[in-house]
């Protein structure tokens, strides 16, 4: 009986392999095609030539072709995406974190590092509210008086007292949500406990700042997500409810803005905020979010006209690099490079109290990586701009590649703008922990700008930054 079952299974396996082989040889698409849902080209069937056979490229090309043309591929990808969302799984570059679901206890929700991050927060003392001044009546203009000019935009009150928060008022799964063309779904989900744990890391950073210092956080959905909304005919909503949770859970000087919400309105107005051929937001999208973040830090945002704008075209980015197609070739992007008009020097730390000067725009960046032309791309271990702009305060930007276009914008407001990517930080090279650097350079405000998959489900902030702070003795 066992022999019969073994032979039957072997025959079944051979039959499945033969059917799959016939499908690939006779029925599978032979030409490259563009998949809009993944914003990339699917592999074409490899050519049987002497160069591919003897050059070693046939096996890899065949594997790519077969992977892109598996029967029921879209159904399997959809199932995989839903499964990852329910398990809060995400992968991005060198960061991967998996959160197992259980409702028994907090320790069951997070591994030790995340639990320590969540429990390490020392609640900030509640400041005594200042007495409310009596309102001063506005003078009545005479009929013949000339109307006053429209005032300059003023920032929101800095670090207002926050009301008590009840975590039960917020959903168990925060999400990047898309509603368009009769599709209504969560593209990424993050458990509430993960949002709380990440917020606790932000609280620890904010505790290192002076009393009037502010931390402002945002998560940027990447272009493969945003362009689903850009390309839709019926654009209803593109939202993420994590920002309001970070804002609520964070201490008094921790704030958050919703990049999805800001870019959603811009997309509806037809503004160019996501690249077509690259994974990043455009500098215009960056600027729109910068305005909101600067206001939360108590600043009056700079106008775009205050920057020199250099346009590089055509720009074909990482999507084109990884899967070049005729469609992307014929629809290239424009890359706007905003730079301040005052003198400044970009410095990359090479040793304690030592640095080398780097160009603001790295002309050695390859054509498909031109977004990383800013500051030589995401590198480290620590970089800062020394600005000759008459300002006195300093700030720090904690970011991945999505923040490269953000850094030049905040140079309008600070004497020094420091930037660091946790993947490249080395405390022995810079001469101290992140807490030491914040103290050494008298950092007043911190901006945290990260791509979606470097946020709640990855090691980027929850583990790397947490371990690099050096704030817990």
**Per-residue pLDDT tens over the stretch 99-142:** 332 333 333 434 455 555 555 544 444 444 445 555 444 444 33
Judge whether 320 lies within some domain: yes
Find residue 252's DSSP bridge partners: none
Judge whether 112 lies within some domain: yes
Cα Rg, the chain, nearest whole Å: 26
Q: What is the mean pLDDT of residues 291-315?
A: 94
Q: How confident is the model at residue 471 (pLDDT cuts 50, 70, 90)?
A: confident
Give 430's DSSP letter: H
- The reported pLDDT for the residue numbered 358 is 87
Judge whether 133 lies within some domain: no
**Which residues lie below 8 Å from residue 59, measured CB to CB, with a gap of 6+?**
none
- The reported pLDDT for the residue numbered 63 is 63
CA–CA gap between residue 40 and residue 322 (Å, rounded): 8
**Per-residue pLDDT tens over the stretch 218-252:** 999 999 999 999 999 999 999 999 999 999 999 99
Q: Which residue from 205, 204, 248, 232 is spatially nearest to 397, judged by alpha carbons?
A: 205
| pLDDT score of 70 more than 70 | no
Q: Which residue from 471, 473, 450, 458 is spatially nearest to 220, judged by alpha carbons?
A: 450
Q: What is the mean pLDDT of residues 35-42?
A: 47
Q: Is 9 exposed, middle or buried (0-12, 13-18, 19+ CB in 10 A)?
A: exposed
Contact at 8 Å (CB) between 188 and 178?
A: no
Q: Tokens 């007292």: give the residue.
A: 161
Judge whether 295 lies within some domain: yes
Mean pLDDT computed over every residue of the chain: 79
Q: What is the largest CA-CA distance in the chain?
A: 107
- The reported pLDDT for the residue numbered 457 is 85
Token output for 308: 């020199």
**Which of the pair, 86 or 427, is modelled with greater confidence?**
427
Q: Which residue from 148, 125, 128, 123 is spatially nearest to 138, judged by alpha carbons?
A: 148
Judge whether 217 lies within some domain: yes
Length of the chain counted residue by residue: 473
Least confident segment among 150-154, 220-224, 350-354: 150-154
- The reported pLDDT for the residue numbered 53 is 53
Least confident segment among 37-46, 356-365, 398-407: 37-46
Token output for 281: 């937001």
CA–CA gap between residue 333 and residue 313 (Å, rounded): 7
Token output for 263: 């870019």
Judge whether 426 lies within some domain: yes
Least confident segment among 89-93, 296-300, 345-349, 412-416: 89-93
| pLDDT score of 406 more than 90 | yes
Phi, psi of 394 (to 5 degrees): -120, 155
Q: Which long-range contacts (C-beta less than 8 Å, at least 24 apart) are formed by 326-335? A: 327/34, 327/41, 328/34, 328/41, 328/276, 328/277, 331/276, 331/277, 332/276, 332/277, 333/275, 333/276, 333/277, 333/278, 333/282, 334/272, 335/282, 335/283, 335/311, 335/370, 335/371, 335/373
Least confident segment among 22-36, 164-178, 198-212: 22-36
Structurally, the chain folds into a number of domains equal to 1
What residue numbers bound the domain in which 284 lies? Answer: 99-122+153-469
Judge whether 58 lies within some domain: no
- The reported pLDDT for the residue numbered 54 is 56
Judge whether 18 lies within some domain: no
**Which residues lie below 8 Å from residue 96, measured CB to CB, with a gap of 6+?**
90, 458, 459
């Amino acid at each position: 009986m066992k022999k019969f079952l073994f032979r039957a299974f072997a025959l079944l396996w051979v039959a499945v392999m033969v059917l799959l082989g016939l499908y690939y040889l006779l029925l599978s698409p032979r030409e490259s095609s563009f998949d809009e849902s993944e914003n990339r080209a699917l592999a074409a069937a490899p050519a049987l030539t002497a160069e591919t056979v003897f050059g070693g490229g046939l096996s890899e090309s065949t594997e790519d072709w077969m992977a892109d043309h598996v029967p029921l591929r879209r159904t399997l990808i959809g199932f995989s995406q839903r499964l990852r969302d329910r398990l809060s799984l995400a992968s991005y570059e060198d960061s991967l974190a998996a959160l197992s679901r259980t409702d028994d206890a907090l320790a069951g929700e997070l591994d030790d590092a995340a639990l320590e991050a969540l429990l390490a927060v020392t609640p900030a003392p509640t400041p005594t509210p200042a007495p409310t001044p009596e309102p001063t009546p506005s003078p009545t203009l005479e009929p013949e008086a000339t109307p006053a000019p429209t005032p300059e935009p003023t920032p929101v009150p800095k670090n207002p007292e926050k009301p008590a928060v009840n975590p039960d008022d917020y959903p168990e799964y925060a999400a990047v949500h898309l509603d368009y063309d009769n599709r209504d779904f969560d593209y990424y989900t993050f458990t509430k406990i993960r949002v709380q744990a990440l917020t606790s890391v932000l609280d620890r950073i904010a505790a290192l700042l002076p009393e009037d210092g502010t931390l402002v956080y945002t998560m940027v959905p990447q272009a493969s997500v945003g362009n689903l909304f850009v390309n839709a005919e019926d654009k209803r909503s593109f939202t993420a409810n994590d920002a309001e949770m970070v804002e609520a859970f964070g201490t008094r000087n921790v704030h958050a803005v919703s990049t999805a919400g800001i870019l959603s309105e811009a997309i509806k107005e037809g503004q160019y905020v996501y690249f077509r051929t690259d994974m990043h937001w455009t500098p215009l999208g960056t600027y729109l979010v910068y305005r909101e973040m600067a206001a939360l830090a108590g600043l009056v945002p700079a106008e775009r006209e205050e920057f020199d704008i250099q346009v590089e075209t055509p720009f074909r980015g990482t999507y084109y690099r990884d899967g070049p197609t005729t469609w992307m070739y014929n629809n290239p992007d424009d890359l706007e490079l905003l730079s301040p008009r005052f003198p400044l020097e970009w410095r990359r730390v090479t040793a304690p109290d030592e640095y080398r000067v780097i160009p603001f725009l790295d002309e050695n960046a390859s054509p498909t990586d031109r977004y990383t032309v800013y500051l030589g791309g995401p590198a480290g271990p620590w970089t800062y701009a020394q600005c000759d702009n008459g300002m006195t305060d300093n700030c720090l930007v904690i970011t991945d590649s999505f923040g490269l276009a953000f850094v030049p914008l905040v140079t309008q407001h600070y004497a020094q703008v420091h930037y660091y990517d946790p993947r490249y930080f080395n405390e022995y090279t810079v001469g101290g922990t992140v807490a030491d650097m914040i103290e050494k350079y008298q950092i007043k405000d911190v901006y945290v700008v990260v791509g979606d998959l470097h946020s709640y489900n990855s090691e980027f902030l929850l583990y790397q930054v947490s371990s690099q702070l050096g704030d817990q003795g």
